[in-house]
Structure 1
Amino acid sequence: MKTYAGTADKTESESGSMIKTLKRMLSYLTYYRYRLIYALILMLGFSIAMGLLPTLMGTATDIITQKQSIADLQKVFLLFILDAVALLICGHFSQKLLSDISQDALYNLRNDLFTHLQILSLGFFDRQPIGELMSRISNDTDVIDQFFSNGIQQVLQSLTTITVLTVVMLIINPFLALLVYLAVFCIIWISTTIARVSGPAFEHMQEQLGEMNGYAEEHLAGQKVAIAYRQEQSSVSAFSVLSAHVARTGGRAEFVALTSMPAATIMANLQMIILLIVGGAMIIHGNITLGELVAFLGLSSSISSPLSQIFSSYAVIMNASAGAVRVFKILDEKPVVADKPEAGPMPSITGDVRFDNVDFAYVPGRTILRNNTFNALPGQIFGLCGPTGAGKSTIINILTRYYDIMSGSITVDGTSIDSVKQDSLRSQIAQVLQEPFLFSGTIMENLRYAREGATDDECISAATKAGAYEFIMAQPECFDTFLSDGGANLSQGQRQMLTIARAMVAHPRLLILDEATSNVDTRTEKIIQNGLLHLQEGKTSFIIAHRLSTIRHADCILVINQGEIIEQGTHDELMKKEGFYYNLFMSQFRGKLSIITGIS
Structure 2
Amino acid sequence: MAKDMFQARKGSKERAEKVVDNTNNTQSSNNSNSVKVSNTQSSNNSNSAKSNTTKANNTKSPNTEDRPKNTGKVLRGLWRYLRIYWWMLFGAILLAMASNLFALVGPMLSGKAIDLIEFGVGKVPIKEVLWYALLMIGFYIISSILSYLLSILMIRLSQKIVRKMRNDVFDKLMELPVGFFDQHLAGDIISRISYDIDVINTSLSTDLVQIFASIITVVGSLIMMIIISPSLVLVMLITIPMSILYTKYMANKTRPLFRKRSEKLGQMNGFVEEMVSGLQTIKAYAGEDVVLDKFDHINEEAVEAYYQADYYGSIVGPTVNFINNISLTCVTIVGSVLYLYNKLTLGDISSFVLYSRKFSGPINEAANIISEIQSSLAAAERVFRVLNEPSEVADTYQAKELQNIQGKVAIENVSFGYTKEKTIIKNLNLNAKEGNLIAIVGPTGAGKTTIINLLMRFYDVDQGAIYVDDNEIRDLTRESLRKAYAMVLQDTWIFGGTIYENIAYGKEDATMEEVVAAAKAAKIHSYIRNLPLGYDTVLNEDGMNISKGQKQLLTIARAMLLDAKMLILDEATSNVDTRTEIQIQKAMRNLMVDKTCFVIAHRLSTIQSADNILVVNEGNVVEQGTHSDLMKKRGFYYRLYASQFE
TM-score computed with the length of structure 2 as normaliser: 0.85
Counterpart CA distance in 1 for 2:582 and 2:410 is: 32
Of 409-418 and 125-134, deviating more is: 125-134
Is the counterpart of residue 50 in structure 1 residue 103 in structure 2?
yes
Amino acid aligned to 1:296:
F
Structure 1 segment 358-369 matched on structure 2, within 5 A: 358-369=414-425
Offset of residue 48 of structure 1: 0.5
Distance 1:197 1:568, change over 3 A: closer
1:595 maps to none
Q: Are 1:297 and 2:350 counterparts?
A: no
Q: Is the 8 A contact 2:433 2:596 kept in 1?
A: yes
CA contact (8 A) 1:194 1:260 kept: yes
Whole-angstrom CA distance in 2 between matches of 1:72 and 1:549: 104
User: Could you tell me whether the CA contact under 8 Å between 2:439 and 2:599 is conserved in 1?
Assistant: yes
Residue 48 of structure 2 aligns with which residue?
none
State the Cα distance separating 1:487 from its structure 2 match: 0.6
- Larger CA deviation: 284-293 vs 473-482: 473-482
Of 530, 534, 542, the residue aligned with 1:474 is: 530
1:99 lines up with 2:152 in the alignment: no
Alignment of 1:149-548 (within 5 A): 149-335=205-391, 337-548=393-604
Distance 1:576 1:268 in 2: 90
Q: Which amino acid aligns with 1:48?
A: L
Q: Structure 1: which 5+ residue stretches go unaligned?
A: 1-12, 592-600
Q: What SS does the corresponding residue of 2:336 show, helix, strand or coil?
A: helix
Give the match for residue 83 of structure 2.
Answer: 30
1:339-363 deviations in Å (ceiling 9; x for gaps): 2343233334221111111111111
Who is 2:10 aligned against?
none
Are the counterparts in 1 of residues 528 and 534 from structure 2 also a CA contact under 8 Å?
yes
Deviations 1:185-236 (A, max 9, x none): 2221221121121111212222222222222222222223322333222221
Give the corresponding residue for 2:132. 76
What amino acid is the match of 2:103?
A: M
Contact 1:155 1:313 in 2 (8 A): no
Q: Contact (CA 8 Å) 1:141, 1:324: kept in 2 or not?
A: yes
- Once residues 590 and 68 of structure 2 are traced to their aligned partners in structure 1, the CA distance between those partners, rounded to angstroms, is 60
The answer to which of 141-150 and 309-318 deviates more is: 141-150
**Paired residue type of 2:459:** Y
Q: What is the deviation of 1:169?
A: 1.8
1:579 Cα shift? Answer: 4.8
- 2: CA distance between counterparts of 1:258 and 1:576? 75
Counterpart contact for 2:503–2:558, Cα < 8 Å: yes
Change (3 A) 1:562 1:257: closer
What do residues 478-504 of structure 1 show as CA deviations (whole Å, max 9, x unaligned)?
211121130111111100000001112
CA deviations 1:403-433 (Å, max 9, x no partner) are 1111111000111111122122112211100
How many pairs align?
577
- How far did 1:277 drift? 1.4
What root-mean-square deviation, in Å, do the aligned CA atoms of Structure 1 and Structure 2 show? 2.1
Identity %: 38
Q: CA deviation at 1:307?
A: 1.7
Structure 2: any 5+ residue segments left out of the alignment?
1-66
3-state SS in 1 of match to 2:543: coil
Whole-Å separation in 2 of the counterparts to 1:327 and 1:523: 48
Task: Kindly provide the amino acid, as one letter, of the partner of residue 41 in structure 1.
Answer: L
- Tell me, in whole angstroms, the C-alpha distance in 2 between the residues paired with 1:550 and 1:14: 54
Seen in structure 2, the aligned counterparts of structure 1 residues 577 and 484 have a Cα distance that, compared at 3 Å, is same
- State the TM-score, normalizing by the size of structure 1: 0.91
Does the residue aligned with 2:117 lie in a helix, a strand or coil? helix
Distance 1:65 1:539, change over 3 A: farther
Amino acid corresponding to residue 463 of structure 2 in structure 1: S
Counterpart residue type for residue 358 of structure 1 = V
Amino acid at match of 1:62: D
